[in-house]
Amino acid sequence: MADRRAEKSCEEASRSLARREYEAAVSHSTDALVVLAPPAPPSGAPVPPSSPSLVAAAGPLRSRALLYRISAFLQLKNYDEADEDCKHVLAEEIARGDGSLKASLRFMLLDGSLQEVAIILSKALYGEPMNGIVAKDLTRLKMLFSEIELIKREMAPEYTEEQEEEFQDGWQFRPPPRGVTSSEEYTLCKRYLEQGLCRYGAQCTSAHSQEELMEWQKRYASRLIRLKQQQESKHFTESYMETLIEKWMNSLSPEKVLSDYLEGVNVETSSSLSVTVTTKKSAHSWTFSFLCRPPRKLFRIALLYDAHRPHFFITGVSSGERLQALPNGCQEWTPGEEVADNGLDHCVYNVAVGFSTEIFGTFRQTVVFDFGSEPVLMKRIMVDAASIEDLEHLMAARQQLLITAKRWDPSCKTIVEFCPNETMADLERSLLSRYQIPLSAVVYSLKKKKTSSDYKL
């Protein structure tokens, strides 16, 4: 009964954290810890031995309650209390030696609450350097954050075929970030080298050690060699997705490799490609309907990117009246040997793509539909999973981005006729010779608008 009360208090603490009700989270966590505390014996009475089953059950629950309370204390800027609870978590784990902390972290990862705790710890350690915690000893919090990151890596989704192949090749570190055109572009993470941890974790695009940097450079060279061998032998054994991404990134005309429009193929979707949900545990699906005129065979469907791959999957494909059943978590589809009958002057395909999550975040994926020629048709889908409060901030930020300049109307513009001057004065000639007209092919600007520094005498 006591364990049930403690478990209920832990659930309430987790929900309070998600709702940003930190005082309530502290209260519920404390209630759970009080329930789990061993009863004090009467004065002078011998201390009865605790049941091993009760101790085993209370360990993970107590760790969870302490983790929730640590997170709430950090958000309330009560760093001394957070550090004290952190000391108890680590000390009890060492004293018990039964893996209670890891069991708690695994449970929290499965129910989605560990993500909230990890984000709070990361922000406290690296995201808010001026909030007072800089003067504290961060050793215990860093140790706890390391345990969380370790569990997240251990329980990461299973390898994709590409990752498994890389693992068998003997690579020991994270896969290098995409988008580089030279191995010299890989860099070391300054924050990780100085502080021993990085707020971006496994998503950081810089190497977290000299060894990892060297491995990235080796993998880049290995990939170039493999691509060259494939091109020479004309035997493409690499995955379709990897090959398509490489070709798109290295092409001088990427729009000829991947495009969101394909002539002769009309696409309709059952819902917006960008959707928003307000609960952690959410699901969504899109149905893409293709009308091909003249008829075209759909050779392949694939989800391109690895970052959010566990959250997206192909759930069904139909050609005409035939529906092809797909396995759970399908990431790539190719048709069977038989070709389904369709119209004489057209053909119709329906493709269903699903999404699911148990954590908040922004999830993106690109679905490609290969009709046997380039460009390959692509559709980008996105899901924002956030609390109502976060969504309000997000919408305000997006609205601000849309307002970049005052819209023109008849009241704020004056049209002046341009009359070219056939004869130029010496001053004009000297200026033209001194300041050459920029060529768009060699001059690039990353800024959204012109500034005073763009014009110089």
Does residue 109 register a pLDDT over 90? no
Q: Are residues 2 and 147 in the same domain?
A: yes
Average pLDDT, stretch 306-329?
83
Q: Are residues 213 and 330 in the same domain?
A: no
Higher pLDDT, 353 or 211: 353
The pLDDT value recorded for residue 446 is 54
Does residue 160 register a pLDDT over 60? no
Of the three residues 139, 154, 169, the one that is the final residue of a domain is 154
The pLDDT value recorded for residue 138 is 62
Closest listed residue to residue 333, CA positions, set 357, 364, 367: 367
Residue 106 covered by a domain = yes
Q: Are residues 129 and 264 in the same domain?
A: no
Q: Are residues 1 and 144 in the same domain?
A: yes
Q: Are residues 275 and 222 in the same domain?
A: no
Q: Coil, strand, or helix at residue 154? A: helix
> How many domains are contained in the chain?
3
Higher pLDDT, 49 or 117: 117
Of the three residues 100, 134, 154, the one that is the final residue of a domain is 154
Regarding pTM above 0.85, the answer is no
CA 326 to CA 316: how far, in whole Å?
Answer: 6
Average pLDDT, stretch 425-446?
67
Q: Are residues 309 and 219 in the same domain?
A: no
CA 246, distance to chain mean position in Å, is 21
Confidence band, pLDDT 50/70/90 cuts, at residue 380? very high
CB 1 within 8 A of CB 57: no
The pLDDT value recorded for residue 132 is 43
Min mean pLDDT across 22-36, 62-76, 391-405 is at 391-405
Helix residue ranges, H only, 253-408: 388-402
Closest listed residue to residue 111, CA positions, set 283, 280, 258: 280
**pLDDT-above-70 percentage for the chain:** 72
Mean pLDDT of the chain: 76
Q: Are residues 210 and 313 in the same domain?
A: no
Residue 171 covered by a domain = no
Q: Are residues 296 and 199 in the same domain?
A: no
The pLDDT value recorded for residue 176 is 84
The pLDDT value recorded for residue 375 is 92
CA 87 to CA 93: how far, in whole Å?
Answer: 10
Q: Are residues 13 and 114 in the same domain?
A: yes
Q: What is the largest CA-CA distance in the chain?
A: 112
CATH number, domain containing residue 135:
1.25.40
CATH number, domain containing residue 359:
2.60.40.10
The pLDDT value recorded for residue 134 is 45
Residue 10 covered by a domain = yes
Confidence band, pLDDT 50/70/90 cuts, at residue 34? confident
Residues 6+ apart with CB under 8 A from 116: 14, 17, 18, 71, 360
Q: Are residues 396 and 351 in the same domain?
A: yes
Residue 245 covered by a domain = no
Of the three residues 403, 429, 446, the one that is the final residue of a domain is 403
Domain range for 220 is 190-234
Average pLDDT, stretch 217-223?
81
Higher pLDDT, 176 or 164: 176
- Give pLDDT tens digits for 189-201: 888 888 777 777 7
Q: Are residues 287 and 205 in the same domain?
A: no
Q: Are residues 2 and 145 in the same domain?
A: yes
Residue 259 token pair: 């495009």
- Give pLDDT tens digits for 335-365: 875 455 566 778 899 999 999 998 888 899 9
Average pLDDT, stretch 170-193?
77
Residue 266 covered by a domain = yes
Average pLDDT, stretch 101-118?
75
For β-strands 347-357 and 312-319, DSSP reports them as antiparallel
- Give pLDDT tens digits for 279-316: 888 999 999 999 998 888 899 999 988 778 889 999 99
Does residue 212 register a pLDDT over 60? yes
The pLDDT value recorded for residue 137 is 55
The pLDDT value recorded for residue 51 is 43
Residue 319 covered by a domain = yes
Long-range contacts of the stretch 172-178 (C-beta < 8 A, 24+): 172/211, 172/215, 173/207, 173/208, 173/209, 173/211, 173/212, 173/215, 173/216, 174/202, 174/208, 174/212, 175/219, 175/306, 176/216, 176/219, 176/220, 177/205, 178/245, 178/249
Residue 353 covered by a domain = yes
Residue 169 covered by a domain = no
The pLDDT value recorded for residue 161 is 42
Which H or E element spans position 12? helix 2-18
The pLDDT value recorded for residue 365 is 94
